[in-house]
Structure 1
Amino acid sequence: MKSKSQLGRFLRTRRALLKPSDVGLREFDERRRVPGLRRDELARLAGVSESYYTRLEQGLSLNASVEVLDALARALRLDETEHRHLYDLAGVGRMAGRDRARRAPAPEHVSEATRRLIDAFGDTPVIVLGRRSDVLAWNRTGHALFAGHLDPSSPDDPARRPNTARLVFRDAHTRGLYEDWPKKARDAVGRLRLAVGRYPDDPLLAALIGELVMHSPEFTDLWSEHRVRAWDLADYRMRHPLVGPIDVTQQAVQIPDEQGQRLVAVTAAAGSASQTALTLLAQATAPAPAADPYPRPATDHPTTLSERL
């Protein structure tokens, strides 16, 4: 995936979403040949020449300065997530002095510290996602909530790891989990857009995008919009085959020192029916207690300490 062409497409789609009235420009009765702002209008708002902005959209101008990118972000009314994505596509650090490594990322694995963190969540459903939205690890209830139909050991094998974007678009079980599936689909695509901006040289990410474009018209339509979604909080109503409807919050936290990895924990409102459903799911999927290897014979009266000795 060429980041410069991605930058041009992102600018074009964001420009097309703005009307002159959105940015304080007068609208006349003329018939506009393009949706949204024209290139010259946006260039004027950002304080750059039309020819320079045109070269940016066409991927012909390299090394746009931070000042120009900030001006474009303001003119396009980008939010913080879109602003960061613009930096990524242009190949500059989000903070001054921060360099981006433009090389294929290393293989992903879950550290022992992260596994201990997963254990600390107890029965709260938890999954760890990598930079491509691959499931790198999950606890028992995380597996039961998101993908109980899959082998629980599959995240341990890079060749079999579930991918949440692939599941959303190509797995009937996952599609049925979300009452508002279009919202979940938009979120999945928006997060992949962020990944493409940050890891443009990742061949496995490019292969995943190509697979989804080939097999899912819905993904293709959403991908063409060039929208991005932050990894933060997301509320969904899930319909789980074991415990029924659950209103949950999925909260993503970046894992320190692990490039692109995020831990996603799932909670429900305290005292709600949804919290009860999550508790029931944990109980229903709990391993059976181990049998006592030294069973004691039944007695009609309590044994004394001396008798036990």
Structure 2
Amino acid sequence: MLLSFLFRTVLRDAAKGNICQHVKCFHSGSQLLSADKALLMKLRKSTGYTFINCKKALEKFDNDIVQAETWLHEQAQKEGWSKANKLEGRRAKEGLIGLFVGDKAAVMVEVNCETDFVARNEKFQQLVKDVTFATLAHHRNKTQRQEGYVKSFLAGDELSKLSTGEGTSLADQVALTIGRLGENMSVKRAVAVGVPADWHFGSYVHGGVGGQNEVAMGRYGALVVFQGGKEGEQDMLGRKLGQHIVGEAPLSLGNMDDLPCGESETRLLPQTFLSDPSRTVAQFLAGKQARVLDFVRFQCGEAAGEETK
């Protein structure tokens, strides 16, 4: 009898046109669900947070994606600070050196994490970029009225107070990344250099990751300042000098007329040149009509104060 009753109800609704109305309602519901799904996918793509958290945020703010994204960042940052406090003290000796060379300004930074696996994560690499450009902005703001050669080192506590382009502090960005990746991290150090118009930068990063982009990243980095060099060869000259500094780890510059003291030579200019073992660095530079004025070398994980400068 129940089946008979249902059948009669369907026939009656069909005669009144209600089935079309039901189908129409169902179809509209499907469109709404598709719209919700598209919004969810968009939020997931723009933030990188899990589907569950993105869905929760959209439900909380009645599908307002702007408020949902803001809330997600706030929650991730809170979680990151909580994790950062719990992970504090855990050894963070891995990470990356980030190096950016502009027209007359260059920056090199070190950001640490616990494992090489996380160092290769694009979210960690984004943090390295944030630190690099925050340092560059700080350098340009500080030296905009200064001329000549300027070099400054920043320790981790100074770097943490700097602001990113989005207005948040680097300390907050570190906490946010800790919350996302679950490892202890720290902003260790940075050097920023400005040069006069007729000086040049050379640079090299070894063990590069992250593909080709404006911030080179790896486990070792060298920044060298030089004058002269033949026109059209200065980029190659700077790269070769950077490779030598990374590979041979000189501790000081030395003088052009210094004599080598053997295999343990720690002065740059008397060292045997890596790209041409028949000559010293000084002899190579003389042949290129160039002169090295300064350099800095960073090795990821080395003790504070061990950078060569």
TM-score for the superposition, normalised by structure 2: 0.24
| TM-score normalised by structure 1 residue count | 0.24
> Which of structures 1 and 2 has the bigger CA Rg?
2
Q: Higher strand share goes to which structure? A: 2
